[in-house]
């Protein structure tokens, strides 16, 4: 008898713990995002070399993000990871399709969907929680909407994305095996904001 396999997330079953948090710090495990790591020869400025197909741009419907930023398209988002490396994510497109969409000559595209999971951190104290364990300057003047940073949060490697310019909405991409640890860490960091 055939068995059906269902996709599970590393933070399945945490919704109850997250629900106990105050409105000023809300944590949500976002639904599955397909993620494709794109490597393109750089032109020395952190942008793809001229002449290469803008496969990243094609996926997100805009120009590839500059160093330290990410761009959100209709179907997919592109995150700058390094001078020749971008991460294209999409909650809508299946991994294989996304990989095929951004693959082009002169570069490599690899499906890394299983590598990271996505956590959404929102609320008036969202920035305060992150600043408990992240050394980069997260004030909106230096980490505005559209900023992206590959850094450490509570000693776990994360990709941090700013979704608004007020420091109240972040997306955290964390390695799946660290997701439980980071969720525990975030809940602990948010404890002081309970009323």
Partner 1 sequence: MQLIDCPWCGPREEVEFHYGGEAGVAYPADPAALSDEEWARFVFHRANPKGPLAERWSHSAGCRRWFTAVRDTATHRFRR
Q: Which is nearer to partner 1, 44 or 51 (CB)?
A: 44
40 three-class SS:
strand
* Among 22, 45, 27, residue whose Cα is nearest residue 184: 27
**What is the phi/psi pair of residue 191, to 5°?**
-55, -40
**What is the phi/psi pair of residue 162, to 5°?**
-95, 125
Task: For residue 184, give every residue at least 6 positions away whose Cβ sits within 8 Å of its Cβ, in sequence order, or none.
Answer: none
Please pick, from the candidates 13, 61, 68, 106, the single residue that binds partner 1 as defined by CB under 8 A: 68
Q: How far is the CB of 151 from partner 1 (least distance, A)?
A: 6
**Helix or strand (DSSP H, E) at 182:** helix 176-190
101 three-class SS:
helix
Q: Contact letters (x/-) for partner 1, 20-39, by CB under 8 A?
A: --------------------
| CA distances to 25, 26, 119, 145, 190 from 19, in Å | 10, 8, 14, 26, 12
# binding residues, partner 1 (CB under 8 A): 14
Q: How far is the CB of 124 from partner 1 (least distance, A)?
A: 26
| Residues from 140 through 159 that contact partner 1 (CB under 8 A) | 149-152, 157
Please pick, from the candidates 108, 124, 136, 145, the single residue that binds partner 1 as defined by CB under 8 A: 136
Q: How far is the CB of 135 from partner 1 (least distance, A)?
A: 4
Q: Which is nearer to partner 1, 82 or 94 (CB)?
A: 82
What gap in Å lies between CA 178 and CA 181, rounded to an integer?
Answer: 5
Please pick, from the candidates 81, 109, 121, 189, the single residue that binds partner 1 as defined by CB under 8 A: 81
Q: Which is nearer to partner 1, 32 or 181 (CB)?
A: 181
Residue 162 β-bridge partners: 170
Q: Which two tokens stand for residue 140?
A: 């909106």
Q: Which is nearer to partner 1, 26 or 132 (CB)?
A: 132
Q: How far is the CB of 77 from partner 1 (least distance, A)?
A: 18
Site for partner 1, rule CB under 8 A: 46, 67-68, 81-83, 85, 135-136, 149-152, 157
């Amino acid at each position: 008898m055939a068995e059906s396999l269902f996709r599970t997330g590393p933070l399945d079953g945490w919704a109850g713990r997250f629900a106990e948090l105050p409105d000023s710090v809300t944590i949500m495990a976002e639904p599955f995002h397909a993620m494709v790591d794109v490597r393109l020869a750089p032109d020395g400025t952190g942008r793809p070399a001229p002449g290469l197909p803008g496969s990243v741009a094609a996926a997100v419907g805009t120009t590839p993000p500059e160093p330290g930023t990410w761009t959100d398209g209709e179907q997919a988002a592109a995150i700058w990871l390094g001078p020749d490396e971008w991460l294209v994510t999409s909650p809508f497109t299946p991994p294989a399709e996304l990989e095929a969409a951004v693959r082009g000559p002169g570069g490599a595209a690899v499906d890394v969907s299983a590598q990271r999971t996505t956590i959404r951190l929102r609320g008036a104290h969202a920035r305060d929680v992150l600043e408990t364990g992240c050394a980069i300057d997260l004030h909106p003047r230096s980490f505005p909407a559209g900023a992206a940073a590959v850094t450490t949060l509570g000693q776990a490697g994360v990709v941090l994305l700013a979704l608004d310019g007020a420091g109240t909405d972040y997306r955290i991409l964390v390695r799946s095996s660290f997701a439980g640890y980071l969720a525990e860490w975030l809940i602990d960091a948010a404890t002081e904001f309970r009323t």
